[in-house]
Amino acid sequence: MAQDIVELRTGQFSSVFLTINSSNLTVIKRAITKKVKNSPHFFQNLAVILQFNALLEKVNLNQLQQILAEFNIQIIGVTDWKNYLQKELILTAGLPVLANSENISEILPEPRYLPTKVIENMEKGQIIYAKNSDLIIHGNVPVGAEVAAEGNIHIYGKLYGRAMAGVNAKGGSIYVQHLAAEFISVNSRFLYQADIPTEYLQRAVRISANKDKLQFSVLGEY
């Protein structure tokens, strides 16, 4: 399978690591454009840690920063550099030099909890991620769409797609007015649609984590 030109992954303390697998700025910009188009909300004021590799020795890091800034992506540091030359390239570009990514937790601050992210409507295939915050969806989450939050998720419509609350966290719940999800997850406890108890389908429910399983409660019933 072909390697992604631009890779993003979450790490400890919800940091986002950026890996660039090309030395061609035009190719890099095209790959970022595609990712932003697929998930525009994820890239709103996104702070990333750049993982350095040999390909980036051939890249003008100042120009790379300018391209990322066009998409509201900011490099807050560079990790995984291997030698003095790479370190000098990073410093010359005015970027902070960080420790190896495996030890990044030693120098990253605790996450700041952000205001609730509010989304009006979603389209099929769209992905929404609320970093360090709760997420509110005023409309439906269609089949093929995905919502995820490090806090709670409130869906004031119908959930047909996928929802994941409490990502990289110990708390969090999903509140939905009509449950018909493809997949649900809270704190890494998950169920596919076929395994969701039928008595909670097509109802307004709260979904939370209880020990090693998901717990369901009908909203309005106490």
Last residue in a domain, options 106, 137, 161: 106
Statement to judge: residues 169 and 84 lie in one domain = no
Q: Three-state DSSP class for 1?
A: coil
pTM exceeding the 0.75 threshold for the entire prediction: no
| CATH code: domain of residue 12 | 3.30.70.260
pLDDT in tens, the chain (222 residues): 456 676 655 444 345 788 999 999 999 999 999 888 876 766 767 778 899 999 999 999 999 999 999 998 888 888 888 888 888 999 999 988 886 655 544 444 444 555 677 788 888 888 888 888 889 999 999 988 889 888 899 999 999 998 999 887 778 899 999 999 989 989 888 888 889 999 999 999 999 998 889 999 998 764
| CATH code: domain of residue 127 | 2.160.20.70
Question: What is the spatial distance between Cα 62 and Cα 84, in angstroms, rounded to a whole number?
Answer: 19
Statement to judge: residues 100 and 141 lie in one domain = no
> Count of domains in the chain?
2
- Is residue 1 assigned to a domain? no
Statement to judge: residues 122 and 214 lie in one domain = yes
List the domain range (segments joined by +) for residue 145. Answer: 117-218
Statement to judge: residues 79 and 122 lie in one domain = no
Nearest Cα residue to 136 out of 175, 98, 89: 175
